[in-house]
Amino acid sequence: MKIKFYITTPIYYVNDVAHIGHSYTTITADIIARWKRLNNFDVFFVTGTDEHGEKIVSAAKKKGQTPLALCDEMSEKFKKIWNLLNISYTNFIRTTEKRHFIAVEKIVQTLFDKGFIFKKKYEGLYCTGCERFYSKKDLDKTGCCFFHKTKPLLQFEENYFFKLSAFQNLILDRITDPYHKEHIEILPKERKNEIIGKLKIGLEDISLSRSIVKWGIPLPFDKEQTAYVWIDALINYVTGLGYPEDINKFQKYWPADIQLMAKDILWFHAVIWPAILIGVELSPPKRIYAHGFFTLNGNKMSKSLSNVISPQELIDKYGVDATRYIVSTIIPFDSDGDISWHELTLKYNVDLANNLGNMISRIIKMAAKYFNLKTPHKINNLDLELVKKISKLLKVSFIINMNNIQLHKAAQSLQNAITFINKQIEYDTPWKIAKTDTSKLAHHIFSYLQAIDVIALYLLPFMPISAKKIWCATGANGNIDEVAKKYFKDFIIPQDGFSISGSQLQNMENLFLRIV
């Protein structure tokens, strides 16, 4: 029996195309999903697009399109880029889909029936960028929103409100008590503490509907009002599992095992989302992880400053797999990080072209030169010493870091293992041995090939295409995915090695060419 694992990314606004920040969350989620599949989990992975609200209406107006035409065009663009990046999502959810309307109606109606929704006249400062009301104390000294640096506009409406205040202690208990049967683990710790601090101050009820925004999902009990875009959006995480119509699938995968996002939207996920779920008697997510923000050359990425890096630009420069690797490992997951094209290229050259690429090409070149591009004969079990050492080294560091979503550290342990192999080659000096001892040379080359193979297994979640190419180049035995699943269960190296004696190898000189 496989254990289920449900992972989500935020659903992205369709007012603009994806940039490196969106790719960061999505690629990370994909790497974790692939990692879990290799560890025999039954993975469900949901991503999608957030298509309602004022922001979308105004973006469509600017482009002279209807909101739906904009949503159709942009959600396709998101799908296309995720497909290009090899994102293995199980379900892509669009909030304009009928199945999502059904889920939102069901949840909002349940909250209404349970008395968690009431009507109230309201005046507030609304930031369209964030799609939320702010009170003056939440704004900077000039009265601007911290994220968008624009002044929220005063809006007056009679709306339905969600009794968020009723959930204060219920959420606090779940976050602070690790033994609670519905414990919500918030990561990283500092952000969890911020959430707890804010929760302790108290919760204000929040607007759950808008009367002036027509581009949304009408409330089932008052069709003149539409669901507030954040309530609408959060519910995607259950729609994506088939709620409420495919209840078996939903019950199989819910609650989410991990929900990823950046720190800007942690409050919605850590407080409002659990409150909605508790309100309708569903369990909250088990783990919520808010990563840091990318800045580019010291500035917030924004189209108006023309300083965004798009995933397409990255793919054009580095290729799909290298983009996945660089983006997911260039900054520590928990902190903000400044990036630049220079640094991205440096990471590519150091980790992939120099360390990994050189190791593979030099080993295969030696096999070509001395053994006619074939895996030499295995002499004895000492031939497996190196691969066993690498396996042991990675087993601890890589796995802990992957399970803690510290991808930059997992990648570092892989790089350390590659450096270890490169150093071993320098130490062995096989080019000297070639002149004197063919059987010793066979031992070394055989050992190196097995070491490459085990590296390929660990590279699989990060760089699925390249890992397969490497696996084929060393003539390794069997389907890499199947071998990896077996290996990650017992960590046993096959008796005859992965690349068995006599296997045909392929030259591998241009897997990651140096970029100048």
Q: Using CB under 6 A as the criterion, which residues of the chain lie in contact with ligand ME8 when the complex forms?
A: 10-13, 21-22, 24-25, 50, 233-234, 236, 261-262, 264-265, 293-294, 301
Of 130, 192, 291, 444, the catalytic one is 130
Question: Residue 395: which H helix or E strand, with range?
Answer: helix 385-403
Q: Tell which residue, 474, 340, 329, has the closest CA to residue 415.
A: 329
Q: How far is the CB of 364 from ligand ME8 (least distance, A)?
A: 38
Nearer to ligand ME8, 37 or 100 (CB): 100
Q: Compute the half-sphere exposure of residue 336: CA atoms within 13 Å on the CB side of its CA.
A: 12
> Is 347 designated active site?
no
Q: Tell which residue, 377, 454, 398, has the closest CA to residue 421.
A: 454
Q: Tell which residue, 323, 331, 402, 396, has the closest CA to residue 31.
A: 402
Nearer to ligand ME8, 118 or 341 (CB): 341
d(CA 355, CA 417): 10
Q: How far is the CB of 94 from ligand ME8 (least distance, A)?
A: 12
CA 337 to each of CA 159, 248, 340, 405: distance values in angstroms, whole numbers, following the listed order: 39, 41, 10, 16
Helix (H, G, I), strand (E, B) or coil at 11: strand
d(CA 283, CA 255): 6
Nearer to ligand ME8, 13 or 160 (CB): 13
User: How many other CB atoms are found less than 10 A from the CB of residue 493?
Assistant: 18
Nearer to ligand ME8, 84 or 396 (CB): 84
Nearer to ligand ME8, 13 or 512 (CB): 13
Nearer to ligand ME8, 19 or 468 (CB): 19
d(CA 42, CA 290): 24
Residue nearest to ligand ME8 (CB): 21
Of 77, 79, 148, 365, the catalytic one is 148
Nearer to ligand ME8, 22 or 324 (CB): 22
* E-state strands within 51-128: 91-94, 117-127
Q: How far is the CB of 359 from ligand ME8 (least distance, A)?
A: 31
Nearer to ligand ME8, 265 or 386 (CB): 265
d(CA 229, CA 208): 9
> Is 145 designated active site?
yes
User: How many other CB atoms are found less than 10 A from the CB of residue 116?
Assistant: 22
Q: How far is the CB of 228 from ligand ME8 (least distance, A)?
A: 12
Q: The tokens 């009723």 sit on which residue?
A: 166
d(CA 52, CA 232): 8
Are 491 and 430 in contact by the 8 Å Cβ rule? The answer is no
Q: How far is the CB of 340 from ligand ME8 (least distance, A)?
A: 14
Of 55, 71, 100, 127, the catalytic one is 127
Residue 75's contacts (CB-CB under 8 Å, 6 or more residues apart) are 14, 48, 49, 51, 92, 94
Give φ, ψ of 74 to 5 degrees. Answer: -75, -35
> Is 71 designated active site?
no
> Is 409 designated active site?
no
Of 61, 114, 151, 303, the catalytic one is 303
Nearer to ligand ME8, 262 or 379 (CB): 262
d(CA 324, CA 251): 32
Q: How far is the CB of 90 from ligand ME8 (least distance, A)?
A: 17
Q: How far is the CB of 482 from ligand ME8 (least distance, A)?
A: 33
d(CA 264, CA 31): 22
> Is 22 designated active site?
yes
Two tokens, residue 449: 């090939």
Q: How far is the CB of 164 from ligand ME8 (least distance, A)?
A: 16
> Is 148 designated active site?
yes
Instruction: State the helix-helix crossing angle for 464-473 and 320-329, rounded to 10 degrees.
Output: 120
Q: How far is the CB of 429 from ligand ME8 (least distance, A)?
A: 46
Of 77, 249, 286, 300, the catalytic one is 300
> Is 100 designated active site?
no
> Is 443 designated active site?
no
Are 124 and 178 in contact by the 8 Å Cβ rule? The answer is no
User: How many other CB atoms are found less than 10 A from the CB of residue 489?
Assistant: 11
Catalytic residue numbers, as ranges: 19, 22, 127, 130, 145, 148, 300, 303
